[in-house]
Amino acid sequence: MERENDVKLIHKILSGDDAAFGILVEKYQKSVHALVWRKIGDYHYAEDIMQDAFLQAYKKLSTLKDPNQFAGWLYVIANRLCIDWMRKQKWMQERKFVMQSLEATRPEEIERSSYTHHVSEQSRTESTEHSHALVKKLLEKLPESERTVVMLYYLDEMTTKEIGKFLGVSVNTIASRLHRARKRLQVDQELLVQEVLDSENLKENIMSQLESIRGKFDSFIAQAKSDPTSGEDILKEAHTQVEDALKGEITPDLVHLADEIYEYIGKVGMEKSVSLHRRYLNVASDTKERFWSHRQLSGNLARLRRNTEAVEEQVRLYRWTCEHLSDADVLETVNSLSHIGCWEAEGRVDEWLQLYEEASERLENPELSRYARCDFLQIGSEILRAYGRLDETLLGMEKLERANGEPDWEHYFRFWLAVRTNRLLVYSKQEDWDHFDQALTEARAFIEEEIEKRNAGQSVNLSNLTWAAHDVGCCLLWSKKYSEARHFLQIAADLSRYDACTHFFLAVSIWASEKDREKTLHHLKATQDYVLNPNRDMYYSNFLETPEFSDVKDDKEFLKALGQKLESNETS
C-alpha cells in the first residue's frame, strides 16, 4: 500500500502539488537522516545532507522512470551526497598539509596538479559508474520489490534490519526478497561476475600501462632537475610508450600524461599535441576537460605560427566558454600572449579588440575573484601594448594597481612587477625618459634591496628576485639599453642557472654591447642544453628574427650553438 501511496504522491507533485512533496519528506526524513548519520558520523552535517538529498530529489523527480522505486532512488541520492561530503573532508585535510608548501610552487605547477587531481577523481568515478552499470543490467531482470532490496543490500551495504526500517517492512520480508532474488539470478550472476572480472582486468592493464609511463616520465623530471643537461634518453622511452598507448582507447589520464610528455619534445611535440587535442575534443564530455583541451590546442597552434587556425580556435573557444563556463574562464580565453602575432598576421587586430571589449564587461561581476580580475587587466594590457595602444595600456596599469590591493596578498608581487615593467616599455616607446627613469628607479631599488638582504644572510624570496631581475633586464634590452640589461639579466642567470629564456636574452645583450663571442656562444648553447626547456628548438627562429644578431645569422659557430646541424664538410 505504501508503494501505491508514493506513486500517487509523485503524480500529484509532478502535476504541481508541492504539498504532496512535504508528505514524502515527512515520511522518509527520519530514515534518510539515520542512514546519512551512520555513514558520515556527524549528526548536524547529516541534517544538511538530508535536506540536500530531498532538494535534489524534488528537482530531478521528473527523471524518475518508475515511481515505485522512489525509496531506493532517494537513498542513492543521499548516499552519493555522503560520498561527496567525505571526499571533500578528505581533500580539505590534504589541502591544509599542501598549503604549507604552496608558496614555493609555481602557479603553472599548481594548475597542473589540480588537473591531475581532477582527472584522478574522474577516473575513480568512471570506474564506480562502470561497475554500477553492469549491476544495473542484472537488476533489470528482477521485480521492483526485489530490485530495491538487492540494490540497498549489495551496493549500499545496508543490513536487512536497516532496509526493513527504511522501507517500512519486516526483516523477514526483506530476507525473503533477498532469497528469491539470489535464486532468480543464480545463472545470470555468474555471467555478470565474469563480465565484471573481464572489464576490471582490462582496466587494470590500462592503469598498469599508465603507471609505467608516469613512472618513466617522473624519472625523467627527477633526472633533469638533478642534472639539467641529462635525461633525454628516459624522455624518449616515455614518449615511445605513450605513443603506443594512444593507439588504443583515449582517456583523460592518458591525454594529460601525453600532453605533459609532448611539452618537452619541442616543435614535434606541439604538432603531436595539436592532433591529440583535436581527437580528444570529440570525446571529452566534462566541460572543464573540454576547456583545458581546447586551450592547449589553440595555444600550440599559436606557438607553431599556424595563425589562421590559432585565431579561429581561440574565437571558437571564447564563444563556447561564454555559453558553458564562468566569467573568469571567459576572461582567460581572450588573454593569450601566444596569439598576439597570429591576430596581427591575419590582419584581424580590430576583431580581437572587439572581443576584448566584450569580455571586459564581465569585470563588473562582483563575484569575480581578485586574481581573475588582475590577471585579465595585466595580460590584456600587455596585448594592447603590443598592438600600439599605449594610452590604453597605461590606463589598464592604473586599474591593475588599484585592483592589486595590499602587499600581504599572495599574488601581490606578480602584479606589482607587471605594473612597473609595462610602464617601462610604454615610456620607452613614447620616449618619455623622465617617467621611464622613475619606474626603473623603483624596480631597481627592490632588486638591490633584496640582494643586500641576501648577501647579509637574511631570508629573501629568490623566485621574486629572479623574476624581477629577468623582467627588468628584458625591458632594458627592448629599450636598447644593453649594458644595463646585461647587468640585471646576469643577476637572473646567476640565481637560476638553467633558465633558457634568460640565457638567450643575456646573449643578445652581451653581443649588442660588447661583441664578446665566447660569452655570447656560451649563453646561446645554454638555451639548448637545458632539457626541461620545452621551447629550445624555437630559439633558432628567435635568433634569426633578432636584429642584434643580424651580422651573425650565417655564422657556423652561432648556428651550431643553437643546435643546428651543419654539413659534414662544413663542420670538419
What local confidence, expressed as pLDDT, does residue 285 receive? 78
Q: What is the mean pLDDT of the chain?
A: 83
What local confidence, expressed as pLDDT, does residue 79 receive? 81
Q: What is the distance between the alpha carbons of residues 146 and 173, in angstroms, rounded to a whole number?
A: 10
Q: Residue 119 burial by CB count (10 A; 0-12/13-18/19+): exposed, middle or buried?
A: buried
What local confidence, expressed as pLDDT, does residue 95 receive? 47
* Better pLDDT: 108 or 470: 470
- Across 132-141, 154-163, 252-261, 286-295, least confident range: 132-141
Place of cell 545496508: 158
Long-range own/partner contacts, residues 419-423 (CB < 8 A, 24 or more apart): 420/472, 421/471, 421/472, 421/474, 421/475, 422/378, 422/381, 422/382, 422/385, 422/393, 422/397, 423/394, 423/397
Q: How far is CA 505 from CA 417, 419, 465, 539, in A?
A: 19, 21, 17, 11
Domain 2-100+135-198 has CATH 3.20.20.70: no
- Across 60-64, 121-125, 291-295, 421-425, least confident range: 121-125
State pLDDT tens for residues 170-184.
888 888 888 888 777
The amino acid present at 190, given as its one-letter code, is E
Most confident of 65-74, 101-110, 281-290: 281-290
The amino acid present at 34, given as its one-letter code, is A
Q: What is the distance between the alpha carbons of residues 58 and 227, in angstroms, rounded to a whole number?
A: 59
**434: which 3 cell numbers?**
623622465
Long-range own/partner contacts, residues 181-189 (CB < 8 A, 24 or more apart): 181/142, 181/146, 181/147, 181/149, 181/150, 184/141, 184/142, 184/146, 185/138, 185/141, 185/142, 188/138, 188/141, 189/138
**511 CB contacts (<8 Å, ≥6 apart)?**
520, 548, 549, 552
Q: What is the distance between the alpha carbons of residues 141 and 264, in angstroms, rounded to a whole number?
A: 52
**176: which 3 cell numbers?**
525473503
**464 CB contacts (<8 Å, ≥6 apart)?**
413, 417, 450
State pLDDT tens for residues 297-331.
999 999 999 999 999 999 999 999 999 999 999 99
Band of the pLDDT at 139, cuts 50, 70, 90? low
Q: Is the dihedral of CA 126, 128, 131, 137 positive or negative?
A: negative
State pLDDT tens for residues 143-169.
767 777 777 776 556 778 877 766 777
pLDDT score of 99 more than 50: no
**568 CB contacts (<8 Å, ≥6 apart)?**
none
Q: What is the distance between the alpha carbons of residues 243 and 300, in angstroms, rounded to a whole number?
A: 19
State pLDDT tens for residues 532-564.
777 777 888 889 999 999 999 999 999 998 888
pLDDT score of 461 more than 80: yes
* Better pLDDT: 476 or 70: 476
What local confidence, expressed as pLDDT, does residue 110 receive? 46
- Domain boundaries, given as residue ranges, for the chain: 2-100+135-198, 377-490, 497-572
State pLDDT tens for residues 51-66.
889 988 888 888 887 7
Q: What average pLDDT does this structure show over 264-275?
A: 92
pTM of the model: 0.64
Q: What is the distance between the alpha carbons of residues 526 and 8, in angstroms, rounded to a whole number?
A: 77
Q: What is the distance between the alpha carbons of residues 35 and 312, in angstroms, rounded to a whole number?
A: 52
State pLDDT tens for residues 32-45.
887 788 778 777 78
pLDDT score of 103 more than 60: no
